[in-house]
Amino acid sequence: MRFDSPAPASPLQPRPAVAEGKRYAIPPKQDFIDLPLGNTERVVISQAEKEIFEEIVSQLDVSAIAQYPKLSGLQKLLAERLGVMPERVLVTAGADEALERAIGSVLGSGRELIATSPTFEMIPIYARLTGGSVQQVPWLEGAFPADGVLDAVTDDTTVISVVTPSNPTGAVVPLADLQRIALAVPHILLLVDLAYVEFADVDITANLLDLANVVIVRSLSKAWGMPGVRVGYAVGDAEVISWMSRTSGPYSVSGPSLAIAEARVRRGDESVREYVRRVRAERKNLAALIAEFGGMPMPSQANFVLARFENAAGVSDDLAARGIGTRRFPDNPDLKDALRITCPGDEHAFGRLTNALRAALDPKA
């Protein structure tokens, strides 16, 4: 083929799923926000946990940098904690990659994913990037719509995605509903995102392990406080985990990240339990305070409270003027009057939040 006299060519274009897609974008943190409670990460690290992290980092072996990473250590540790064989566990670059791999292993052109709405916004994005379609069942408040989800199943459905506790609402899906769905459609992958489950009243992981069409996704970014390390994992049937392992390269998680995560999991249970205890107490008190001054908090078992306000933008701006960030959802018509506020898990930071909220919500303040 000769190129000395090229014919006019069309400009380079992305494939349709990319051209029509929307980039995941976290609202930027303004410089004057020093207590950012709009994201769901930890914003305050206790002195005891700082010392743990510093010790773990100081003991990193240079081989974690100089050699290709080995997943087997963390994989075996997580498998032992779950009581399953290692081949049922896949360590990933955050829970996000686990979701992407699970969806990508069974979804594609002519196939469909069912999710609730609202949900973690990357789930529909991952689905559409495969060429698959997305059908969303409304679930903003009230009981989980198990019947609606099953009624939405078509011959094209290959994935049902559920996040519990849900992001952004904090609502939980009853175990019985998950079991019912999994058993009703054994030919469909039930993808259960449990990124926030440590904050819930009950951890349902063990109850789902024997369902062959269920893949559970867990995170070390939330309760474990390591979003910067980017480590998550999936657990499911060994065959499905094998499919997921074929959807990406062999070294998506760095060696230092694996070493830090393994050391943290081996010695972090007590500090995580204490952090979760503080968050649960704050969550209850935060919801009560919001309700006291006329807001409408939604029931939450995550590390945040989503609440409706008569003037959500005004409350958000008032808190921001005091250096406290919150998460608004201006592009979601169902959540335009809502704010999501993360519980800091720290006495001083929570006191500052509650004082600021009183000032923002109490006309007498």
Nearest residue to 324 (alpha-carbon basis) of 342, 312, 311, 307: 342
The reported pLDDT for the residue numbered 323 is 95
The pair of three-digit structure tokens given for residue 238, joined into one six-digit string:
């060994």
Domain borders along the chain are: 19-47+270-361, 56-267
Task: Name the residue among 237, 247, 212, 224 with its Cα closest to residue 98.
Answer: 247
Determine contact, residues 94/40, Cβ cutoff 8 Å.
no
What is the tens place of the pLDDT at every residue in 56-91?
999 988 988 889 999 899 999 999 999 999 999 999
The pLDDT value given to residue 25: 66
* Tens digit of each residue's pLDDT (9 = 90 or more) over 220-235: 999 999 999 999 999 9
**DSSP tag of 88:** G
pLDDT value, residue 349:
96
Hey, what amino acid is at 185?
A: V
**Correct CATH for 19-47+270-361 of 3.90.1150.10, 3.30.565.10, 3.40.140.10, 3.40.50.1000:** 3.90.1150.10
The residue behind tokens 């908090």 is: 297
Biggest alpha carbon–alpha carbon distance for the chain: 80
As its CATH architecture, domain 56-267 has: 3-Layer(aba) Sandwich (3.40)
**Close Cβ partners of 2 (under 8 Å, ≥ 6 residues apart):** none
Give the model confidence (pLDDT) of 95-105 as tens digits: 999 999 999 99
Whether 222 and 232 have beta carbons less than 8 Å apart is answered as: no
- For residue 351, give the nearest of 44, 103, 19 by alpha carbon: 44
Read off φ and ψ for residue 247, nearest 5 degrees: -95, 0
Rounded Cα gap, residues 340 and 8, in angstroms? 51
**9 pLDDT above the threshold of 70:** no
Q: What 3-state DSSP class applies to 187?
A: coil
Contact assessment for residue 125 and residue 136, using Cβ atoms and an 8 Å cutoff: no
Provide φ and ψ at 76, rounded to 5°. -65, -40
Taking the C-alpha atoms of residue 365 and residue 363, their distance in angstroms, rounded to an integer, is 6
Name the H helices within the chain. Answer: 16-19, 47-58, 63-66, 72-82, 94-106, 122-129, 146-152, 175-184, 205-208, 238-245, 255-267, 269-292, 312-321, 347-361
Confidence check: pLDDT of 182 > 70? yes
In this prediction, residue 2 has a pLDDT band, given cuts at 50, 70 and 90, of low
Question: What pLDDT, on the 0 to 100 scale, is given for residue 19?
Answer: 80
Give the C-alpha separation, 327 to 154, whole Å.
35
**Omega of the bond leading into 333 within 30 degrees of 0 (cis):** no
> Hey, what are 116's tokens?
């609730």
What span, in angstroms and rounded, lies between the C-alpha atoms of 208 and 217? 11
